[in-house]
Chains A and B, each alone.
Chain A
Amino acid sequence: MCPADGGDSGGDRAPGKQPGDDAAFAALLEDSAEDLYEHAPCGYLSTLLDGTIAKINTTLLDWLGHARGDVVGRRTFSDLLTAGGRLYHETHFAPLLRMQGEVSGIALELKAADGSRLPVLVTSTVKTGGDGQPLLIRTTVFDARDRRAYETELLRARREAEREREELKRLNATLQQTLLPPALVSVPGLNVAAHYHIASADKVGGDFYDLFPLTDGTWGLFLGDVCGKGATAAAITSLARYTLRAAAVYDPDPAAVLSNLNTVLNHEYNGTDPRFCTVVFGLLTPDADRDGFRITLASGGHPPALLIRADGSADFLPTPGGQLIGVLPDAHIATTTVRLDPGDTLLLHTDGLTEAHTAQLGDGDRYGDEALLDFVRALGPTTAAHTVAAVRDLLDTFGTGVDDDTAVLAISVPRPPSEEQQ
C-alpha cells in the first residue's frame, strides 16, 4: 500500500529540503499576474489602433513621471515620443507594424514629465481577433540608456573610421606621387616614357623609377621594386631612390651604385627585420659617332630588361647572377653593356606585370616572361611611347588580375627623319 501524499517516502524531493520550502516556492510562483505586469522590469503598454493608450504599467509610468489618469484614454503612444522620434514612428515604425504585424528592437526616445529624455528599445505586436482583424497593439519598452550611449560611441567610431579611410587613400595617393618623378626629364636624342600602375588604393606600392642627368652629358636611370607594401615599403622606396641618386653622383659606375645601395639597406635593416629590393640601374652615355647611346646596366636580382631592335627583333638582356639588394653584406651585382642605335627601344619593368593573373590562360595562371617576350616581339620595331602605351593597355586587359603594383620605363633612340618617312 502506498501513502497517498508520499509524505513518508520522501518522494522525489531533493535531499536536505524541508517541507516548508515547497510552500515558499509555490507562493513565489503565485505572484499575481497583475503584479508581474505592473512592476515588470520593463514598460508595458497597450494602445488602440489609433494610438490611444488603453493600458500602461506602473514601471513605465514611474519612468516617465506621469499619473495614470493623465495618460490612459488621453494620450497616444506618439505623444510620449520626442518630436523627432514621432516623425520616425509615423514614417517607419507604424507602417512596418501595419505591414508585418510586429516590429522589434526599434530605438526611440520617450519624453518624461520633467522634460528629460529616456532612450528606449521598443517592440510591438498587433493583437488580432479570431477573424484576423487587428484589435490593439501591445508594446514593451526597455530602458536603453547604457546601450544607446554605447551605440552612439560605435556610430561615432564608425564615422571616424570612414573619414580616416578616405584620408588614408588620399595620403597614399600623395605619397605614391612623391616616390615617382613628377615628370620625366627630357634627354636630347632619346625618347622616354613611363607608367605606374597602382594595384590597390589602400596600400602604397613599392615600385619606383627615375631618370636624371649626371656629369659630362651622361644620364642615370633606375627602376626597382621593394619587397612588401605599405608605409615600411614606402620608407625603403624613399631611401632607395635618394641613395641611388646620391651614389650615382659619387661614383656613376652602375655596379658601384648598386653596391652602395646594398650597403645602405643592409646597414639600415640589419637584424630582425631584413628589407631588400630588386633594382636595375643604367648609365647612359651618348655615342656621338652613331647618333645613339651606350648603356651599361647593373642588376640586383631584377627581371631582365627587354631590348627591341630597329629591325623588329627583340630579346631579354640577361644579367645573370645579380643578387637581391640589401640581404647580404656583399651582394654580387651583374652588369651588361649594349649599344642603343636609332630605332632601338629598351624596356624596364617590375614583376607586377609578369606575375599578373590572366583569365585567358585559365587556372589563374601568371602572365610570365615568355608571354611578355612574345608581346614585345609583336610590337617591334617600336618606340618608347608606343611600348609603354601597349603595356598600359595590356595591364588594363588583366584588370584585377594585376595584384601588385607595376612600373615600366622605356627609352628609345629616334630614327633619323629621313628613315622615319620610309
Chain B
Amino acid sequence: MTVRGRNHVTVTGRDGGPVVMLAHGFGCDQNMWRLVVPLLEQDFTVVLFDHVGAGRSDLSAWSRERYSSLEGYTEDVLEICHELALGPVTFVGHSVSAMMGVLAAARKPEAFAGLVLLAPSPCFVDDPATGYRGGFSAEDIDELLESLDANYLGWSGAMAPVIMGNPERPELGEELTNSFCRTDPDIARVFARVTFLSDNREDLAEVTVPTLVAQCSSDAIAPPEVGAFVQARIPGSRLVTLNATGHCPQLAAPEETAAAIADFARAGH
C-alpha cells in the first residue's frame, strides 16, 4: 500500500503554486475542508488527506501500536510530504492536527514553509499544578467516549439512510456516512484518547518555522486563553482571532478562514 493510498491523499489546485497541506482533526475527514478548498485552488497547490482510520484511508494500515500516540500520525504527515516531494509546505492543522504539525515541524523543519494552527489546543485537560486550563477533566473525556459509543450504536446501520432521505437506496447512506464523520468505533476510541489526552505543551517551544495561530472567537473546545498560550510558547508566532464561532471555522466561516490561510501562505517565508 502506497502512502498516497494509505492516507487517501488528494492533490488539487494550481500546479507549481505554493503548497498548502490541510489536515483534518478528530471526528471527520478531509471533507471538512470542502468549503475552503475552492477558495485556495486558484493560487495554491492544495494537498488533502485522511488520517489513517478516518474517511477513505486504508483501515488495514491502522494499528494500535502506531496510532496510540500523535507520533504515528506525525510520521504519516512527514511521509506524505516526502512522497509528494512538493518542497516545503504550509501545513494547516485543525484541532488535534495542529499538534501533529508542531511535532512534524520540530522534527523536520526543512519540510515546512510555515504552520497554520487552526483552533489548536496543546492539552485539553486542565493541569491544576501549573494553573493551565485546557477546559476539560479526564472524566469529561470518558464522557466523550460514552457519547461515541451511544452514537455508533444507532449511527452505523440504521441512521445513515435516514439522514440521506433515501431509505430505498441504503448504499447512498453508506457512502455518505463513510465519507464524512464515520470511523470504525474501535479506531475512534483510540483516536479520541490520543486527541484529548495528549499533552504537547512542552513541544511548542521546539517550533522554528513561521507560525500563525488562528483561533475562533468563541470555541467550546479550545477557549481563547489556550490560543494565547500556544502563541506565547511558539517563538515568533502570530495570533489571529477569527470572527468565526465554534470549533470548525473552515465550515462556519470558510471565506475568513481561507483568507487567513492564503495571506499567511502567500507571504512567502
On A, residues with C-beta under 8 Å from B are: 49-51, 76, 78-79, 82-92, 94-96, 98-100, 102-109, 119, 148, 151-152, 154-155
Residue of B nearest to A82 (CB): B143
Flag if A105 contacts B159 (CB, 8 Å).
yes
Contacts A50-B246, A152-B150 known; list 9 others, CB within 8 Å. A83-B139, A84-B141, A91-B26, A91-B247, A99-B31, A99-B251, A107-B147, A109-B143, A119-B150
User: How far is A155 from B151 in the complex, measured between Cα atoms in Å?
Assistant: 11
Residue of A nearest to B140 (CB): A83
Flag if A50 contacts B218 (CB, 8 Å).
yes
Flag if A103 contacts B137 (CB, 8 Å).
no
Query: Per a CB cutoff under 8 Å, which of B142, B148, B181 touches A95?
Result: B181
Is B221 close to A, CB under 8 A? yes
Flag if B162 contacts A91 (CB, 8 Å).
no
Contacts of B128 in A (CB 8 A): none
Flag if A83 contacts B159 (CB, 8 Å).
no
Kindly identify, within residues 152 to 204 of chain B, every residue whose CB is under 8 Å from any CB belonging to chain A: 153-154, 159, 162-163, 176, 180-181, 196
User: How far is A88 from B155 in the complex, measured between Cα atoms in Å?
Assistant: 13
Residue of A nearest to B146 (CB): A84
Contacts of A107 in B (CB 8 A): 147, 150-151, 153-154
Instruction: Supply 29 A–B pairs (Cβ within 8 Å), ascending by A.
Output: A50-B218, A51-B218, A76-B220, A78-B220, A83-B140, A84-B140, A84-B146, A86-B220, A86-B221, A87-B136, A87-B147, A87-B221, A90-B220, A90-B247, A90-B248, A92-B27, A94-B247, A94-B248, A98-B248, A99-B31, A100-B176, A103-B163, A104-B162, A105-B162, A107-B151, A109-B143, A151-B150, A152-B150, A155-B150
Query: Per a CB cutoff under 8 Å, which of B31, B95, B148, B248 touches A88?
Result: B148
Contacts of B140 in A (CB 8 A): 82-84, 87
Flag if B246 contacts A51 (CB, 8 Å).
yes
Flag if A102 contacts B247 (CB, 8 Å).
no
Flag if B218 contacts A87 (CB, 8 Å).
no
Residue of B nearest to A98 (CB): B251
Chain A residues touching B, majority SS? helix
Is B25 close to A, CB under 8 A? yes
Flag if B218 contacts A96 (CB, 8 Å).
no
Residue of A nearest to B151 (CB): A107
Is B92 close to A, CB under 8 A? no
| Given contact pairs A88-B148, A94-B246, A105 touches B154 in the complex (Cβ within 8 A) | yes
Contacts of B148 in A (CB 8 A): 88
Is B34 close to A, CB under 8 A? yes
**Among A85, A90, A105, A148, which residue has the most Cβ atoms of chain B within 10 A?**
A90
Flag if B147 contacts A84 (CB, 8 Å).
yes
Chain B residues touching A, majority SS? helix
Contacts of A86 in B (CB 8 A): 220-221
How near does chain A come to B146, taking the closest CB pair, in angstroms? 6
Residue of A nearest to B243 (CB): A50
On B, residues with C-beta under 8 Å from A are: 25-28, 31-32, 34, 95, 136-137, 139-151, 153-154, 159, 162-163, 176, 180-181, 196, 218-221, 245-248, 251-252
Residue of A nearest to B137 (CB): A83
User: How far is A84 from B82 in the complex, measured between Cα atoms in Å?
Assistant: 37
Contacts of B137 in A (CB 8 A): 83
User: Which 4 residue pairs are nearest across A and B when measured between Cβ atoms?
Assistant: A84-B143, A91-B27, A83-B140, A50-B245
Flag if B154 contacts A95 (CB, 8 Å).
no
Flag if B144 contacts A88 (CB, 8 Å).
yes
Flag if A83 contacts B143 (CB, 8 Å).
yes
How near does chain B come to A348, taking the closest CB pair, in angstroms? 40
| Given contact pairs A84-B140, A84-B143, A104-B159, A99 touches B180 in the complex (Cβ within 8 A) | yes
How near does chain A come to B159, taking the closest CB pair, in angstroms? 5
Contacts of A105 in B (CB 8 A): 154, 159, 162
Query: Per a CB cutoff under 8 Å, which of B95, B176, B245 touches A51?
Result: B245
Flag if B147 contacts A108 (CB, 8 Å).
yes
Flag if A96 contacts B147 (CB, 8 Å).
no
User: How far is A100 from B35 in the complex, measured between Cα atoms in Å?
Assistant: 12
Contacts of B181 in A (CB 8 A): 92, 95-96
User: How far is A219 from B180 in the complex, measured between Cα atoms in Å?
Assistant: 67
| Given contact pairs A49-B252, A90-B248, A96-B181, A84 touches B25 in the complex (Cβ within 8 A) | no
Flag if B143 contacts A95 (CB, 8 Å).
no
User: How far is A166 from B187 in the complex, measured between Cα atoms in Å?
Assistant: 19
How near does chain A come to B35, taking the closest CB pair, in angstroms? 8
Query: Per a CB cutoff under 8 Å, which of A95, A102, A109, A154 touches B163?
Result: A102
How near does chain B come to A55, taking the closest CB pair, in angstroms? 18
Contacts of B252 in A (CB 8 A): 49, 98
User: How far is A154 from B158 in the complex, measured between Cα atoms in Å?
Assistant: 15
User: How far is A95 from B25 in the complex, measured between Cα atoms in Å?
Assistant: 11
Residue of B nearest to A79 (CB): B220
How near does chain B come to A149, taking the closest CB pair, in angstroms? 11
Contacts of A89 in B (CB 8 A): 220
User: How far is A102 from B246 in the complex, measured between Cα atoms in Å?
Assistant: 17
